[in-house]
Structure 1
Amino acid sequence: MRWLATHYDVVPLRQLIDMVGACASLRSVAAVTFDDGYAGVFEHGLPILDALGIPATVLLVAGALGRSEGFWWDQPQIVESATRGRRERWLKELRGDGEAILSGIQPVEDRGLPASHRPADWTTIQAALGRGIEIGVHSATHRSLPTLNDAELEDEVIGSRAILHRATGIWPEVFAYPYGHWDARVRALVRSAGYRAGLTLDYGLNGAFADPWALRRVNVPALISDAAFEVWAGGVHRLRRA
């Protein structure tokens, strides 16, 4: 985060979206996002963001908040049995539905997930609002949206936003597509539902004429060391300057 703050003007995501709408240059601008709403983002990440004065947006899975169990992909039986082929089948045939995926896998000993690996609760989220943290929507149940029928899709895109509004009084303006899965139908609903932007997992940087409902992102690899991050991020920085 210190490297990012040194090399970029890190702005709130809503400001970056304003700049996209105005076709302004994004050459030296960056915004920070966190998907899923893990408790660890607020416990470990927020103090660092506060210290560096970096704003961030957390994209929340509305139906998961405050749950005692973690997300399906963090469950021990998934970690032990996942292969690339199986994961692709889970997302395509089972639509990324955690309950359906877990029901077809032999359970293993559950030693419990650390609290930081579980979804944050509402109290934690409320306390973070106004401290440089903004919230967006990452669906209701984190299913693969293009595989859903129209009613299910509306629940994930529109119903999730209503849940967050009832809990926080805020109408989130940004939607992040679960698993990075989206198509023209999904994009159209996100736009017509009143979101100002849609975030993909398509790798890349956004220019002045980027599509606001298909914004690219640069995903930071999990557990990357500080030294490796500086080398990796330096390549992204050179790409931006090219």
Structure 2
Amino acid sequence: MKKNRDVIPLRELAERLAAGKLNSSAVSITFDDGYACNDEVAAPLLEEAGLPATIFIPTHLIEAGQEAWWDRLAAILIDHPAQSIVLELEEDRSVVDLGEKSDGDWHWQPGQGPSTPRQEAFHATWAKLQVLPPDAQRSAVDRLASQSDERGPRASHRLMTAERVRGVQSDLIELGGHSLTHTALSHRSRDEQEIEIRESRRELQAMSGTVPKTFAYPYGDYDANSVELAREAGFMCACTTDHGGIRKNADAFALPRIAVGNWDGRQLGARLSSV
């Protein structure tokens, strides 16, 4: 990236886009969700290379000090000793068929579909829970955990602490908003979206001491209300997970991105060159 691209802060990318001066080699690096490895692994590598990046922070998840619900769900379903488990939602109760454990259950390549029965069970259950309000998600996962031998937060799946959110910032590393609870915005009312977006900016400023200028829609899930509310909240731009490069006429509040897999430099270059 350092040798072959013009790596710039996301806020600068938004400025260049607005001014019609975004060149074809410009790239911004972003990380979603505030995992501890962003601070402990990625940030030092970026600092060493002199490359800027933005880390998007869901403030309530950071403050909770727990694994994200989707990580808890994966651990519960894939490690569950029995071949089925009961999923209880507010108006629905169903038995999730997990099948037998397999050596491949934890080997899931980025960007690939599920390849084992337990991966399929996780994917189907995740899809059910992903659209629910945060409290319903948490309750459903808690009920699943009560049937398992969940051992608490894993070191490998930690989110940053509020202290590290403050500490990771530098001349190169910036923070961006990522809602309060990492909810699927298009499934929330306009009023709920407004709170998630507007208050995430205020809370992240209080947590970090700096005003976030950029935003990313959780799960890449957004609608017309999300776009309008992100603009009204005072952000300069907002990122989706829609795949693609940024064209000159792109909406700064619906910026596409390229989700990076477990690629080497050659593969990354090929993917960037194809958009």
TM-score tier (shorter): 0.7 to 0.9
Q: Which moved more, 1:51-60 or 1:124-133?
A: 124-133
- For the residue of structure 2 that corresponds to 1:99, the secondary structure is helix
> Which string of whole-angstrom CA distances, capped at 9 and with x for unpartnered residues, describes residues 197-226 of structure 1?
1100001100222110000000112xx1xx
Whether 1:123 and 2:120 are equivalent positions in the alignment is no
TM-score, normalised with respect to structure 1: 0.87
Q: Which moved more, 1:42-51 or 1:168-177?
A: 168-177
Cα separation, 1, equivalents of 2:221 and 2:155: 28
**Structure having the higher Rg:** 2
Corresponding residue for 2:125? 86
Q: Which moved more, 1:67-76 or 1:208-217?
A: 67-76
Q: Which moved more, 1:143-152 or 1:29-38?
A: 143-152
2:19 maps to which of 22, 43, 59: 22
Corresponding residue for 1:98? 137
Q: Which moved more, 1:202-211 or 1:231-240?
A: 231-240
Question: CA RMSD for the aligned pairs?
Answer: 2.0
Corresponding residue for 1:6? 3
Corresponding residue for 1:188? 228
Deviation at 1:193, TM superposition (A): 1.4
Corresponding residue for 2:38? 41
Deviation at 1:95, TM superposition (A): 4.5
Q: Indicate if the aligned counterparts of 1:164 and 1:171 stay in contact, CA closer than 8 A.
A: yes
Cα separation, 1, equivalents of 2:266 and 2:172: 28
**Letter of the 1:167 counterpart:** M
Cα separation, 1, equivalents of 2:179 and 2:77: 21
2:185 maps to which of 145, 148, 153: 145
Q: Indicate if the aligned counterparts of 2:67 and 2:153 stay in contact, CA closer than 8 A.
A: yes
Cα separation, 2, equivalents of 1:67 and 1:119: 10
Corresponding residue for 2:260? 220
Deviation at 1:88, TM superposition (A): 2.2
Whether 1:61 and 2:101 are equivalent positions in the alignment is no
Q: Which moved more, 1:168-177 or 1:180-189?
A: 168-177
Cα separation, 2, equivalents of 1:55 and 1:23: 21
Assess, with a 3 A threshold, how the Cα gap between structure 1 residues 84 and 162 changes in structure 2: closer, same or farther: same
Cα separation, 2, equivalents of 1:120 and 1:150: 29
- For the residue of structure 2 that corresponds to 1:199, the secondary structure is strand
Whether 1:70 and 2:70 are equivalent positions in the alignment is no
Q: Which moved more, 1:197-206 or 1:125-134?
A: 125-134
> Which string of whole-angstrom CA distances, capped at 9 and with x for unpartnered residues, describes residues 160-211 of structure 1?
1111122223221111101110011111111111111110000110022211
Cα separation, 2, equivalents of 1:41 and 1:233: 19
Assess, with a 3 A threshold, how the Cα gap between structure 1 residues 146 and 52 changes in structure 2: closer, same or farther: same
1:159-178 to structure 2, matched below 5 A, reads 159-178=199-218
TM-score, normalised with respect to structure 2: 0.77
- For the residue of structure 2 that corresponds to 1:65, the secondary structure is helix
Cα separation, 1, equivalents of 2:4 and 2:137: 39
Structure with greater helix percent: 1
Whether 1:237 and 2:272 are equivalent positions in the alignment is yes
**Letter of the 1:62 counterpart:** T
Cα separation, 2, equivalents of 1:147 and 1:85: 18
Corresponding residue for 2:47? 50
Q: Indicate if the aligned counterparts of 2:31 and 2:55 stay in contact, CA closer than 8 A.
A: yes
Q: Percent identity?
A: 31
Q: Indicate if the aligned counterparts of 1:33 and 1:58 stay in contact, CA closer than 8 A.
A: yes
- For the residue of structure 1 that corresponds to 2:222, the secondary structure is coil
Deviation at 1:86, TM superposition (A): 2.7
Q: Which moved more, 1:163-172 or 1:54-63?
A: 163-172
Q: What are the ranges of 5 or more consecutive residues in structure 1 without an aligned counterpart?
A: none
